[in-house]
Amino acid sequence: AQSVTQLDSHVSVSEGTPVLLRCNYSSSYSPSLFWYVQHPNKGLQLLLKYTSAATLVKGINGFEAEFKKSETSFHLTKPSAHMSDAAEYFCVVSDRPGGYNKLIFGAGTRLAVHP
């Protein structure tokens, strides 16, 4: 079965400094991977997705993620944090039980951004 592990439950950065949110995945075949963001009391918004094309994936709001098969990782990065980036971030892998795309969510990483 597919699974993801988010290595940090909380990350705190200063505004203007880089962001790194770590995610490792487990998959028996070539996975599809996603990052979703959830702002307080809001729904989940897709940041970016990897579907076996380019290994470096660019998303919205300046975020990007790199798929590294050798390390089974899909870390999320942003060069410069903004206050509005404070939210919870979920790494997600797509499983295909019975042929449909079932999204398996990680436990989440809460990002705090300080002035």
Which residues bind to other proteins, rule: CB under 8 A?
Answer: 32, 34, 36, 41-46, 49, 51, 90, 94, 97-98, 100-103, 105-108
User: Minimum CB separation from other proteins for residue 18, in Å?
Assistant: 26
In sequence order, what DSSP letters do the residues of 26-95 get, joined into one string?
E-SSPPEEEEEEE-TT--EEEEEEE-SS-SEEE-GGG-EEEEETTTTEEEEEESS--GGG-EEEEEEEEE
User: Minimum CB separation from other proteins for residue 32, in Å?
Assistant: 5
User: Minimum CB separation from other proteins for residue 80, in Å?
Assistant: 26
Minimal CA–CA distance to 106: which of 17, 5, 33, 31?
5
User: Minimum CB separation from other proteins for residue 3, in Å?
Assistant: 12
